[in-house]
Amino acid sequence: LTDLLVVTLFLPAYFALQVIYARRKYSVSPPDTAGPPEFERVFRAQANCSEYFPIFVSVLWVAGIFFQQGVAAVCGLLYLYARYQYFQGYRLSAHGR
């Protein structure tokens, strides 16, 4: 379960890097959060994932303590995959989804 948590830390870092790349691409300087719709979608997807990250980590550890760690780890991996897919879908325009 600890190994999964280490891997889990890479996903928010990846999302933050995508925001940095979008800021450069669309010329949006920090701390501005408004810009072209393409930038705002990337920024909002990252913010949404960051908002739910503490809840995910808490639930992952509670599930690992009170239930089987293997099942908790598999559910955690499934959640991470779903979050990645969510991020990729959210950054597309509504017509592209």
List, in order, residues 6 or more apart from 90 with CB less than 8 Å away.
41, 44, 45, 48
Q: Tell me whether residue 47 is in a domain.
A: yes
Q: Tell me whether residue 11 is in a domain.
A: yes
Domain that holds residue 39: 2-90
Domain total in the chain? 1
Catalytic-labelled residue, pool 23, 24, 44, 83: 24
Q: Tell me whether residue 95 is in a domain.
A: no
One-letter amino acid of 43: F
Cα dist. 3→24, 29, 34, 61 in Å? 33, 35, 37, 12
Q: Tell me whether residue 97 is in a domain.
A: no
Q: What pLDDT does residue 93 have?
A: 74
Q: Tell me whether residue 61 is in a domain.
A: yes
pTM value is: 0.86
Q: What pLDDT does residue 1 have?
A: 80
Based on the residue annotation, tell me whether 23 is a catalytic residue of this protein: no
CATH number at residue 17: 1.20.120.550
Catalytic-labelled residue, pool 23, 44, 91, 97: 97
Task: Output the DSSP codes for 43-94.
Answer: HHHHHHHHHHHHHHHHHHHHHHHHS-HHHHHHHHHHHHHHHHHHHHHHTS-T
The pLDDT tens digits along the chain (97 residues) read 888 888 899 999 999 999 999 999 999 999 999 999 999 999 999 999 999 999 999 999 999 999 999 999 999 999 999 999 999 999 887 776 6
